[in-house]
A and B are shown apart, each in its own frame.
Chain A
Amino acid sequence: MDWKWHVIPENAGFFAAGFQLTLTIFAIAWVGCWAFAIVFGAMRHSSRSWLSYPAAAVIEIIRGTPGLMFVVWVYFLSQPLIGYALSPFWAAVWALTIHQGAYGAEVVRAGLSSVPRGQLAAGYSTGLGYAGVMGWIVLPQALRNMAPAIVNRSVALLKGTSLAFVIGVIEFFRAGTIVNGRENASFAVFTFLAAVYFVCCFSLSRLGHRLGQRPGVIEDTTAV
């Protein structure tokens, strides 16, 4: 019964470097994905069809494609579109930003819709402009309702960073496959990977669960 557990401490530095890259991708894509989500979610929530229809089309098309496909597609798209190939790291960041952003946009839209339209009308009638109504009336309530969904999408994004492995980014999962290829200790390596991912994602999703124990809250937990 030799599971070769010793390969984990022996390659600890390599795993740590991979994990650091995973966190870097996560951090950059998290910021980008919510920027994307706010713009497209607000557009889709708009009552103006010239804003909401294009936004709906973009969101639904992106949500209809697999994340893995999207990562590879962005990587190869950069060649004809901007004239040079993006580095795998930036291709992964952009792909995760846009792909998770489309899911996030639905969260933002649900959050904005959770505030009754009558409150917007009331806000406008007291003399507030669009920014005032959004900043003082809609967003404080919408954010409270969206908080668990935001955390759950972050879990999905953290899990999604493993997809960057397919275009050659040496993040945590690819670091594991490289170690496995050299040491041939698949049980130990993949159990270790699963355990680390589980600890990170589980603690995040507990946080989301704690935020979301009220009625009327949005919990977006789809398997992406």
Chain B
Amino acid sequence: MAEAVLGRAAALVRRPWFETPGERRAFLLVWGGLTALAVWYFFFGPRAHYDYNWRWWVVWQQRRFLMWGIGTTLYIFVWSLLFSLALGVFCGIGRTSTVRGVRALSTGYVEIFRNIPLLVQMWWAYFGLQQVINVTLNEPFGLRILIPSTVACILALSLYTGAYMGEVIRSGIRSIPRGQWEAATSTGLSRAQTWRSVVLPQALVIVIPPLSSEVLNIIKNSAVAMTIAITDLMFYSQKIEEETFAGFEAYTAGTLLFLLLTLLTVGAVYLLQRLFGLKVRTAA
């Protein structure tokens, strides 16, 4: 990434910013105008009379909450990543299968889990599933099975992301030419061996860039877990808001930490791509 950034910077310096005087005027008009508007708004506009009591220090004071939140978010992220990758690989293979039942099953899975909001799925997995267990197991047999909210959250998040990853991996498998299948069969490899040592290793490397954006989505979507009382980064941002009433400061800190996590993941994906000797494309 560093050399790419440096290369862009060098190109910027070499190329003149404005090719015509009209462009320079347009630049000054647009950005100068916006800056002037912002300055006017904050210092002379209607908001100037409203005195918001900035308390950025509370974020630092409550930093241990944010640290705990990052820990939980990462815990959920790692488990969901493992499960959804496994689900995605199986689903991707199933979608390209020649067996009709397998294909229908994986298509049904993808369509159902992609077309329901994650919030609904998570609440279904936490409250709905609990009632199913109550009615079918707990009440008839006198058991006391309770679904921990962490399990419900990881379950919902993995199923949701697995459906998207399945689609990405399917397109990766499709991109392997049919000739490779024929070549593998003619060298005497079985179907399972072909999948394991010819198709999947190539397909999984090809899909790293689109897959990485789904991986980032796990981090972002894990914020939804706050609604079923998972003590993640979002939950603790709300906690700081409740304790100090510095809502804007608390949520800004939470947002920036989420951004930091996603940026670190982007860096990790970059290293992974370098490891496989791929041409690096930007992943978002």
Contact = CB atoms under 8 A, between A and B. Distances in A.
Contacts of A13: none
Interface string A153-187: 00100011011011000000100010010000111
A221 B258 CA distance: 22
Interface residues of B, number: 65
Nearest to A200: B115
B112 to A, nearest CB: 7
A81 B219 CA distance: 28
Given A194-B124, A201-B115, A64 B164 contact: no
A205 B114 contact: yes
Contacts of B15: 49
B181 interface: no
Nearest to A80: B52
A16 interface: no
Contact of B258 (A64, A205, A224): A64
Nearest to B119: A162
Contact of B247 (A76, A173, A189, A197): A76
B12 A194 contact: no
B220 A81 contact: no
Interface string A84-116: 100000000000000000000010000000000
A79 interface: yes
Nearest to B261: A64
A82 interface: yes
B252 interface: yes
A3 B135 contact: yes
A69 B12 contact: no
A187 B251 contact: no
A162 B127 contact: no
Nearest to B135: A1
B121 A194 contact: yes
A137 to B, nearest CB: 22
B65 interface: no
B247 A79 contact: yes
Interface in B78-129: 111-112, 114-121, 123-124, 127-128
Contacts of A190: 120, 123-124, 127-128
B255 A65 contact: yes
Majority-rule SS of B interface residues:
helix
B43 to A, nearest CB: 13
A64 B259 contact: yes
B117 A162 contact: yes
Contacts of B258: 64-66, 69
B255 A73 contact: yes
Interface in A183-214: 185-187, 189-191, 193-194, 197-198, 201-202, 205
A159 B117 CA distance: 5
Contacts of B284: 60, 63, 106
Contacts of A159: 115-118
A131 interface: no
B227 interface: yes
B251 A72 contact: yes
B123 to A, nearest CB: 5
A187 B254 contact: no
Contact of B119 (A165, A201, A222): A165
11 contacts: A50-B17, A68-B223, A69-B223, A77-B251, A82-B46, A83-B46, A159-B116, A159-B118, A180-B127, A194-B120, A202-B115
Given A63-B284, A159-B117, 10 more contacts: A49-B15, A50-B31, A65-B255, A69-B237, A69-B251, A186-B123, A194-B116, A205-B115, A221-B167, A222-B214
Interface of A: 1-3, 48-51, 54, 60-61, 63-70, 72-73, 76-77, 79-84, 106, 155, 159-160, 162-163, 165-166, 173, 177, 180, 185-187, 189-191, 193-194, 197-198, 201-202, 205, 221-224
